[in-house]
């Protein structure tokens, strides 16, 4: 256990046994922080893009928030975004692509999870100048029962400390512009919007 939040909630290292629960949390928070179940026709694709690569490729910075009712959140980080993306391209996406059709590039033809299938076949790179200034990144999502307990703040603080200890000078988060609650939460942690992007960024002390 990494952090005991009290009342049966705690942060621990993620394992392969958590994959199904991680994908469930990702789906239930996948629509700008809300439940994306009605939108997606494949309930696992969001987790296969935004979560499981971290559990496999960055296991030291892959955590779940556990509770008396099971996994209710996760925290992932990558110290070197460029290196992580390179590894994902070589080691993670090829197998997924082999099992999924590549949708037509015209978004007007997409249905259900086609947008996610398209992203798997054609990942969107982070601009080189962003990575140069903010080389690390992270993801955190919590279900409703884990919110309002200080869990997000403590978990993110742990991640920033770990990234800083690894030598990172800054990190970014990709935050949906409609997820106003998340954007306000990150602002309290020192993150600021990066103009003309959906990213929020902050420097890390070395």
Query: At 85, which CATH number?
Result: 3.40.630.30
Cα–Cα distance, 119 to 28 (Å, whole number): 19
User: Nearest 5°: phi and psi at 199?
Assistant: -85, 150
Give 15-50 pLDDT, tens digit per residue.
999 999 999 999 999 999 999 999 999 999 999 999
All residues at 6 or more sequence positions from 86 whose CB lies less than 8 Å from its CB, including other chains? none
pLDDT for residue 7 is more than 70: yes
Domain housing 38 = 3-203
Which positions ≥6 away from 180 have C-beta within 8 Å?
none
Angle at 23 between CA 22 and CA 29, to 5 degrees: 90
What SS3 state is found at 199? strand
Amino acid 110: pLDDT = 97
Q: Is the pLDDT of residue 206 over 90?
A: no
| pTM above threshold 0.75 | yes
User: Confidence band (pLDDT; 50, 70, 90) for 93?
Assistant: very high
- Domains identified in the chain, total number: 1
If we measure between CA atoms, which residue out of 199, 153, 148 comes closest to residue 174? Answer: 199
């Amino acid at each position: 256990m990494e952090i005991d939040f009290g009342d049966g909630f705690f942060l621990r290292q993620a394992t392969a046994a958590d994959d199904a629960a991680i994908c469930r949390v990702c789906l239930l928070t996948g629509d700008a922080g809300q439940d994306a179940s009605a939108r997606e026709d494949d309930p696992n694709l969001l987790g296969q893009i935004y979560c499981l690569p971290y559990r496999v490729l960055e296991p030291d910075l892959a955590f779940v928030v556990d509770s008396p009712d099971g996994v209710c959140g996760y925290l992932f980080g990558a110290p070197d975004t460029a290196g992580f993306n390179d590894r994902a391209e070589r080691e993670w996406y090829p197998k997924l692509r082999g099992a999924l059709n590549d949708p037509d590039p015209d978004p007007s033809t997409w249905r259900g999870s086609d947008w996610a299938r398209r992203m798997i076949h054609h990942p969107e790179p982070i601009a080189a100048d962003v990575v140069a200034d903010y080389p690390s990144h992270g993801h955190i999502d919590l279900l409703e029962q884990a919110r309002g307990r200080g869990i997000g703040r403590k978990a993110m603080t742990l991640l920033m400390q770990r990234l800083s200890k690894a030598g990172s000078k800054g990190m970014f988060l990709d935050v949906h512009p409609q997820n106003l609650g998340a954007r306000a939460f990150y602002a309290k942690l020192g993150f600021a919007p990066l103009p003309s992007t959906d990213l929020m960024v902050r420097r890390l002390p070395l």
